[in-house]
Amino acid sequence: MASITFSVSFGVLLLSFFFLVAMINAQAEINQVLERNQLKSIQEFDISKLPYNQAIVKETFGLYPPALFLPYKSKRNVHAIGLDSIVWPNQKSLHHLLKNSPKTKLPPGPKPWPIIGNIHLLGSKPHRSVADLSKTYGPLMTLRLGSITTIVISSPDVAKEMFLKHDIDFASRQVPDSAWAVDHAKFSMVWLPVCPKWREIRKISAIQLFTNQRLDVSQGLRTEKVNELVEFVKGCCEKGLAVDIGKAAFTTALNLLSNTFFSMNLSAYDSSGSQEFKDLAWHIMEEIGRPNASDFFPLVKALDLQGAKRSITTSFSKMLEVFDKIIHERLSDQISSKDDVLEILLSLVKQNELTLDDVRHMLIDLFVAGTDTTSNTIEWALTELLRHPEKMAKAQGEMEQLLGKGQSRSIQESDISKLPYIQAIVKETMRLHPAAPFLVPHKATTNVELCGYWVPKNAQVWVNVWSIGRDPNVWPNSESFTPERFLESEIDIKGRDFELMPFGTGRRICPGMPLAYRMLHLMLASFLHSFNWKLDHGLNPEDVDMEEKFGLTLAKKPSTMEYCNSITLVVALLVIALRFLIRNPQKSKLPPGPKPWPVIGNIHLLGSKPHRSVTDLSKTYGPLMTLRLGSITTIVISSPDVAKEMFLKHDIDFASRQVPDSAWGGDHAKFSMAWLPVCPKWRDIRKISAIQLFTNQRLHASQGLRKKKVDELVGFVKGCCEKGLAIEIGKAAFTTTLNLLSNTCFSMDLSTYDSLGSQEFKDVAWYITEALGRPNVSDFFPLVKALDLQGVRRRVSTSFSKMLEVFDKIIDERLRDRIGSKDDALDTLLSLVKQNELTLNDVRHMLIDLFVAGADTTSNTVEWTLTELLRHPGKMRKAQIEIEQILGKDQSRSIQESDVLKLPYIQAIVKETMRLHPAAPFLIPRKATANIELCGYCVPKNAQVWVNVWSIGRDPNVWSDSESFRPERFLESEIDIRDRDFELMPFGTGRRICPGMPLAYRMLHLMLVAFLHSFNWKLDHGLNPEDVDMEEKFGITLQKAQPLRATPLPR
């Protein structure tokens, strides 16, 4: 869906939070009873007053009955009954409150999908999608939008019962996360709940702004502003220019409000000011009304995953900048001669009846809603009249009868009551095109029975006035623009008739309705009385674009799109192409670097730890450096800025691999996703691995498996703790990751904690990664690679063969059984082999990639993390305290993946570890597939490229105190490890980013929290923290040279 572009990974976090949310609700209910009875403990007689707690007991018995099989003759599986989706909709959620009561059933609605609920049904125009759904499920319908229960009302009868019988129960707002930008919802009359502050602001706005007395006094100002509009249109008429109706109406409404409040215009018809303000107002309305992950999954709103709050903050700030300037100028005047609304509001501030923030945010509400909705309605009205010229002529005839044919007499507000057809046009426009299709969403403040159904407390309520306005049971010929229907009808738009309530109704009816009502009729009548109209560009009425743009309000999508001139675009593209095809020879110089020796080049400078040696060299030669390694030109990148240019501008040119000779052992590079160039085969394998292994849906489905494996790790460590035994952290983490992968792929463990199996597998995996990254004569001098002078390829072939022997045995057994018996990754891959989408060799080598990279890098990172924490006990304690705040001090509750979001310091520790100890210090070497200009230098075709993320992570120009382990640096930073920030990219970036990153990210945090929550730790052999060996062992990954051994202690 275009309007809801967010990954379902946000929803994955939600499922494991359901039980926590239920606990909070239960505790709140108990606290209410205790406060009411003034007791310190719960009594038996209180149980009847705790329906939610009773429901939890019932739900627990439904999901986890004490006896799985009741002892009848025909034994019934009551566990299965408790999970029966036919009996219990959404059976795994704690929401079956008082299910035996007929009053507790929710209104009908489409069956929700796991996690996302019905979000996928909203589409880009939710008002239309929901209207279509109501045809199936009825006028009172339930949608599950993420974790939010949403009740949709689509008939006037249901709306009438809601507002007449339960107005106070639905008078609060469902506040979108974006409305909290700059604390707007804290002060806004629109978003505040019904409370003393809201009542006070509402009362002031009603008395000081929208009473009939106030409006009568200011009608001369409205006439003046509408006359200015007429003069502007008249000027365009004389010049034969088309008028942007919406913009002209917006400018009029904006200047009317600004004169009412500030005694000044904020814009002119021939300036860009009103368009800028209109863009701000519409952006605010669009963002607040647009479907947002933070609203569907409130538990992740702090992440602002779609950036809606950040985006709207900018718009609010720009608007407040205008208002603050005017307010400050007014406050700086000692005596003001202005008799306007701002003067009144500031006097109330002086009397402490309002605060300056109340005034500032009241202005946002009034200027955004007042200008946007009024101009939108005028634009829709003129659009409909231009599509129906006979109705426009009829309206003009009505005005001529009253005002005469000439324009000598302008329209007055007092004339409106004598123009029933004009009033009918406004009503009909608001019926078909209500300004806010769902009004402003309401929220149930208590459990409410509505039309025989149960609306639960905190449910969001959408009143779909767009659907009500087009209901064929209410309106004959409901899709047609027929103002005549209102000539014999007493239905009005002022909140008394539930068939037509564009301004809402009840306590939360739009307070600006009296002003909007006058302005709409005045502007529309002025447009029609003074001029005839025709469509621009000779467009026929039936061809007018009626497309809508959805937000909190409903705007007309512009009929003329602004786009780049195609000729200019072609010329620009040609210039860009020529820029790359015809290079200035003077710029074709290599980046600087140390002078190479004959034959060997700079090989002698690499040493045993090339990542460190190259970092030292970059301090002399810069962040973009050339090394000559034998006959291979190697470009080394050691700064985030150069990396950014490389990956953002030239990712495709550097997307291939510099394949080491050892990777050809067992023909691995021929099938390996890690080493294949970007080609159709690589794309197919990459796509399959992404879809079948690492989608959010797959990962969500397997989170129980990950928790199980981490619980087994905790059990193993607990046993060592009880015996006082030290643990080899890397080996324990490797066994956990190995068994997680083997269960995901094969539905079986490949090792146990007390066997040698995991160590043997770890040794094989490490040798492969070490050999692939080790400097090799065959890589420096390709002409002699066939000789395999160092024997690296032969030894790697042996290691590959050992690993393939394990996999081949499992594959052969599975092929003898019927495919599909396990429903795991191997079954999926073998079914793709059967469909000729993969070969068996593709599958075998894909498994090598996954097990070598997945198990080795994850366990290495966990080991480095615990090493750093043992060297910094204060930081370990800080992390444990954070975990205790979420999980409690005891170990009765184990970590869930969804808890990680609440543990910012744990996340910071993982980031800091990956900054100092990235799993692959040079990532996996890239290769330039063409001559590339990078930062003013030439990177020649076939050059090897090392991105030294180890060096970038320790760059003092990027990181203060760069050599210190200081997770706190990330607490106030938005830098992440997932392909967004070039200062920290341990998984790589671009096309060749590690496909297993989503799984590794989850496992890293899960294992680390399990280690820290369940145990205290001390170094083996009484070693002091400062004496811990931090020596590294270099390969394509970076391992700790001396394994970390630590002793777990009970907490």
527, 664: one domain: no
**Structure tokens given for 4:** 């809801």
551, 678: one domain: no
Decide if 907 contacts 970 (C-beta within 8 A).
yes
Q: Identify whether 151 is part of a domain.
A: no
Whether 144 shows a pLDDT value over 70: the answer reads yes
Whether 400 shows a pLDDT value over 50: the answer reads yes
Place 974 in a pLDDT band, splitting at 50, 70 and 90: confident
Place 982 in a pLDDT band, splitting at 50, 70 and 90: very high
| DSSP line for 813-880 | HHHHSPTTSS-SHHHHHHHHHHTTSS-HHHHHHHHHHHHHHHHHHHHHHHHHHHHHHHH-HHHHHHHH
Q: Residue type for 526, please? A: S
396: three-class secondary structure by DSSP = helix
As a whole number of angstroms, the distance between CA 637 and CA 773 comes to 17
**Structure tokens given for 861:** 């990172």
What digits encode the pLDDT tens for the residues 673-691?
999 999 999 999 998 888 8
Residue with the larger pLDDT of the pair 547 and 654: 654
Q: What is the mean pLDDT of residues 105-113?
A: 94
Residue with the larger pLDDT of the pair 72 and 927: 927
Show which of 526, 556, 586 is a domain's final residue.
Answer: 556
List, in sequence order, every beta strand (DSSP E) within 709-851.
727-728
**How many domains would you assign to the chain?**
2
Whether 2 shows a pLDDT value over 70: the answer reads no
Q: Identify whether 943 is part of a domain.
A: no
795, 685: one domain: yes
Q: What is the mean pLDDT of residues 911-924?
A: 94
Whether 783 shows a pLDDT value over 50: the answer reads yes
What digits encode the pLDDT tens for the residues 734-759?
999 999 998 888 888 888 887 766 67
Compute φ and ψ for 199, nearest 5 degrees: -60, -40
What digits encode the pLDDT tens for the residues 431-466?
999 988 999 999 999 999 999 999 999 999 999 999
The radius of gyration computed from the CA coordinates of the chain, to the nearest angstrom, equals 35
674, 543: one domain: no
**Structure tokens given for 957:** 């120009």
What digits encode the pLDDT tens for the residues 315-325?
898 899 889 99
Whether 70 shows a pLDDT value over 90: the answer reads no
Highest-pLDDT range among 33-42, 333-342, 762-771:
762-771
Q: What is the pLDDT of residue 82?
A: 61
DSSP 597: B
541, 674: one domain: no
- By CB atoms closer than 10 A (0-12, 13-18, 19+), residue 774 is middle
C-alpha distances in angstroms, 1011 versus 423, 652, 903, 1007, 1022?
Answer: 71, 41, 14, 6, 20
Whether 242 shows a pLDDT value over 80: the answer reads yes
532, 411: one domain: yes
Whether 611 shows a pLDDT value over 80: the answer reads yes
| H or E element in which residue 945 lies | strand 944-947
Place 266 in a pLDDT band, splitting at 50, 70 and 90: confident
536, 662: one domain: no
Show which of 556, 586, 608 is a domain's final residue.
Answer: 556
Place 73 in a pLDDT band, splitting at 50, 70 and 90: low
Place 772 in a pLDDT band, splitting at 50, 70 and 90: confident
Whether 499 shows a pLDDT value over 70: the answer reads yes
As a whole number of angstroms, the distance between CA 471 and CA 131 comes to 9
Place 965 in a pLDDT band, splitting at 50, 70 and 90: very high
> Which residue bears the tokens 């539930």?
498
Show which of 524, 556, 588 is a domain's final residue.
Answer: 556
Compute φ and ψ for 549, nearest 5 degrees: -120, 115
What digits encode the pLDDT tens for the residues 569-597?
323 333 333 333 333 333 458 999 999 98
Decide if 605 contacts 620 (C-beta within 8 A).
no
Region for residue 478 given its phi and psi (left: phi exceeds 0; alpha: psi -120 to 50; beta: otherwise): alpha
Decide if 637 contacts 945 (C-beta within 8 A).
yes
673, 551: one domain: no
- Helix segments in 86-183, DSSP class H: 126-137, 156-165
806 Cα distance to chain centroid: 41
668, 548: one domain: no
Q: Identify whether 312 is part of a domain.
A: yes
Q: Over pLDDT 70: what percentage of the chain?
A: 86
Highest-pLDDT range among 213-227, 531-545, 667-681:
667-681
Per-chain mean pLDDT for the chain? 84
Please tell me the number of Cα atoms within 13 Å of 767 on its side-chain side: 19
Residue with the larger pLDDT of the pair 272 and 653: 653
As a whole number of angstroms, the distance between CA 1048 and CA 870 comes to 12
680, 816: one domain: yes
Q: Identify whether 93 is part of a domain.
A: no
Whether 152 shows a pLDDT value over 90: the answer reads yes
Q: What is the mean pLDDT of residues 554-582?
A: 34
> Worst-scoring range by mean pLDDT, 82-86, 467-471, 854-858?
82-86
Whether 243 shows a pLDDT value over 60: the answer reads yes
Range of the structural domain that residue 272 is part of: 177-556
Q: What is the pLDDT of residue 11?
A: 36
Q: Residue type for 561, please? A: M
- Going by C-alpha positions, the residue among 319, 324, 300 that lies closest to residue 181 is 319
Q: Identify whether 607 is part of a domain.
A: no
Region for residue 931 given its phi and psi (left: phi exceeds 0; alpha: psi -120 to 50; beta: otherwise): beta
Q: Identify whether 685 is part of a domain.
A: yes
Place 935 in a pLDDT band, splitting at 50, 70 and 90: very high
510, 370: one domain: yes
The strand pair at 442-443 and 172-173 is best described as antiparallel
Q: What is the pLDDT of residue 85?
A: 56
Whether 820 shows a pLDDT value over 80: the answer reads no
Whether 875 shows a pLDDT value over 70: the answer reads yes
Whether 961 shows a pLDDT value over 80: the answer reads yes
**Structure tokens given for 28:** 């709140």
Q: What is the pLDDT of residue 558?
A: 39
Whether 377 shows a pLDDT value over 70: the answer reads yes
| H or E element in which residue 636 lies | strand 632-637
> Worst-scoring range by mean pLDDT, 78-82, 223-227, 435-439, 623-627?
78-82
Q: What is the pLDDT of residue 56?
A: 79
Region for residue 936 given its phi and psi (left: phi exceeds 0; alpha: psi -120 to 50; beta: otherwise): left
Whether 528 shows a pLDDT value over 80: the answer reads yes
Whether 671 shows a pLDDT value over 50: the answer reads yes
Whether 668 shows a pLDDT value over 80: the answer reads yes
659, 552: one domain: no
Q: Identify whether 616 is part of a domain.
A: no
Q: What is the CATH number of the domain that holds 961?
A: 1.10.630.10
Q: Identify whether 835 is part of a domain.
A: yes
Q: What is the mean pLDDT of residues 638-662?
A: 93
